[in-house]
């Protein structure tokens, strides 16, 4: 074997050794990264699991949420708010922790903090539906948009809208008069009427004409298109919120519900941005509760009779609205028991100490459960909190309510800009 052959063998051996060393270093580096992340995740998991919560297992998370139907999730959450101290508990959606809080003191520390202005990343699944608006925007965009809109949605603007509202309400009255005898307070109803489609179209027509200046007249033509869009909207949101795997765009792209987005996008600005859905839901729940409490309905009727006399189709004014004190109490109590948005979602950049032994780590999603005030095992906010009692919002009693014990429009810097239009 000559010298050239020896050099060739040595060169090949050197290359093999270099490749082996690189592979070994790569394996070591990957192993170190995996072990480092595993230790961090383990430490993070232990930190989260110091907060009590339902049974969960690694990777899969809280199994109950995977097993039960979507329609039962909210009821399960309510049961957990009753079970765990102060309604505070943690659960896992796959490997993502979510902390639920309910105590007004805890809610105040989250919603009232300027360190929790950033919306949780989970809101990003809404962007294909509603764009980069106040709900989904990052802090700089939110501040800019809010400054533009805040002067357009306030109590002073109601006076401009009263004419449209009166006209639509008269149409609403005429249609219900034909559909049922429920508008006749002097007689017993002769048939049942589903109010949902009528109230939904009422709210939609008012929103369209007051905010957009366009007349849809869905009450007159009995259109169900936007009701169907609303249902699709809720279906998409609930599935993507409570099924973490559907938040991966590549999974969502092949999911059957993906086709709903095209339908929703065509109407989303009209349907979602300005509270059509929340307004109609509040009116429906208020009608439902008053219907189940005829003695309270009689009080509302007496108040209307005192203001309008026997006129069934009056032209309502701002002064009339200010005199509807008992109706206002009924609306507030409805929103307490059935808030339009029962769960608020925030995400902070820093650890938050709710109690000396209860700390929420940074970048963890925090849900404020607004249903706690009507489901708590302890009357920490309201007496007889499971009773529908508008009197708790009477002028001489409302001061006794915790500042963050009633927040159907959220509170703090990122509260709802439509709060001033509550009675309207």
3-state DSSP assignment of residue 155? helix
Report CA-CA distances (Å) from 125 to 229, 237, 248: 17, 8, 9
Q: How far apart are CA 267 and CA 317, in angstroms?
A: 31
Report CA-CA distances (Å) from 161 to 113, 208, 209, 409: 34, 11, 9, 21
The structure tokens 């005429």 sit at 174
Q: How far apart are CA 76 and CA 68, in angstroms?
A: 9
Per the CB < 8 A criterion, the answer to whether 198 and 219 are in contact is yes
CB-facing half-sphere around the CA of 297: CA atoms within 13 A:
12
Give binding residues as ranges. 416
Provide the b/e sequence for 383-416 (b: ≥16 CB within 10 Å): eebeebbbebbeeeeeeebbebbbbbbbbbebeb
CA 141 to chain centre: 20
Tokens of 105: 């003191």
Per the CB < 8 A criterion, the answer to whether 126 and 136 are in contact is yes
Report CA-CA distances (Å) from 354 to 40, 165, 344: 23, 44, 17
Give binding residues for heme as ranges. 416
Per the CB < 8 A criterion, the answer to whether 408 and 335 are in contact is yes
Which is nearest to 343 in space by CA: 376, 372, 363?
372
């Amino acid at each position: 074997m000559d010298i050239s052959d020896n050099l060739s063998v040595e060169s090949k051996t050197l290359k093999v050794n270099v490749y082996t060393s690189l592979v070994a270093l790569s394996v070591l580096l990957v192993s170190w990264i995996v072990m480092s992340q595993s230790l961090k995740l383990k430490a993070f998991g232990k930190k989260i699991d110091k907060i009590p919560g339902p049974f969960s297992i690694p990777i899969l998370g809280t199994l109950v949420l995977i097993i039960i139907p979507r329609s039962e999730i909210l009821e399960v959450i309510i049961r957990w708010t009753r079970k765990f101290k102060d309604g505070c508990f943690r659960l896992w959606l796959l490997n993502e922790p979510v902390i639920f809080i309910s105590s007004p003191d805890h809610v105040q520390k989250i919603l009232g903090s300027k360190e929790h202005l950033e919306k949780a990343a989970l809101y990003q699944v809404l962007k294909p539906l509603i764009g980069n608006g106040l709900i989904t925007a990052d802090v700089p965009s939110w501040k800019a948009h809010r400054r533009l809109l805040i002067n357009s949605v306030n109590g002073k603007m109601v006076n401009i809208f009263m004419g449209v509202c009166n006209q639509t309400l008269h149409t609403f009255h005429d249609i219900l008069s034909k559909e049922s005898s429920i508008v006749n307070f002097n007689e017993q109803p002769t048939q049942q009427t589903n109010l949902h489609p009528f109230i939904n179209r009422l709210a939609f027509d008012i929103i369209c004409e007051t905010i957009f200046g366009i007349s849809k007249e869905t009450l007159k033509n009995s259109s169900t298109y936007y009701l169907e869009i609303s249902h699709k909207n809720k279906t998409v949101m609930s599935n993507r919120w409570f099924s973490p795997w559907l938040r991966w765009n590549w999974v969502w792209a092949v999911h059957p519900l993906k086709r709903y987005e095209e339908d929703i996008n065509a109407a989303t600005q009209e349907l979602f941005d300005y509270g059509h859905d929340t307004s109609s839901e509040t009116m429906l729940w208020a009608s439902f509760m008053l219907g189940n409490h005829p003695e309270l309905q009689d009080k509302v009727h007496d108040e209307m009779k005192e203001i309008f006399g026997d006129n069934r189709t009056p032209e309502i004014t701002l002064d009339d609205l200010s005199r509807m004190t008992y109706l206002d109490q009924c609306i507030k109590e409805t929103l307490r028991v059935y808030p339009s948005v029962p769960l608020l979602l925030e995400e902070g950049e820093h650890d938050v100490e709710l109690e000396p032994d209860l700390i929420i780590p940074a970048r963890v999603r925090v849900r404020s459960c607004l249903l706690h005030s009507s489901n708590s095992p302890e009357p920490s906010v309201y007496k007889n909190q499971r009773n529908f009692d508008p009197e708790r919002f009477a002028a001489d009693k409302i001061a006794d309510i915790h500042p963050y014990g009633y927040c159907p429009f959220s509170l703090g810097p990122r509260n709802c800009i439509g709060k001033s239009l509550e009675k309207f």
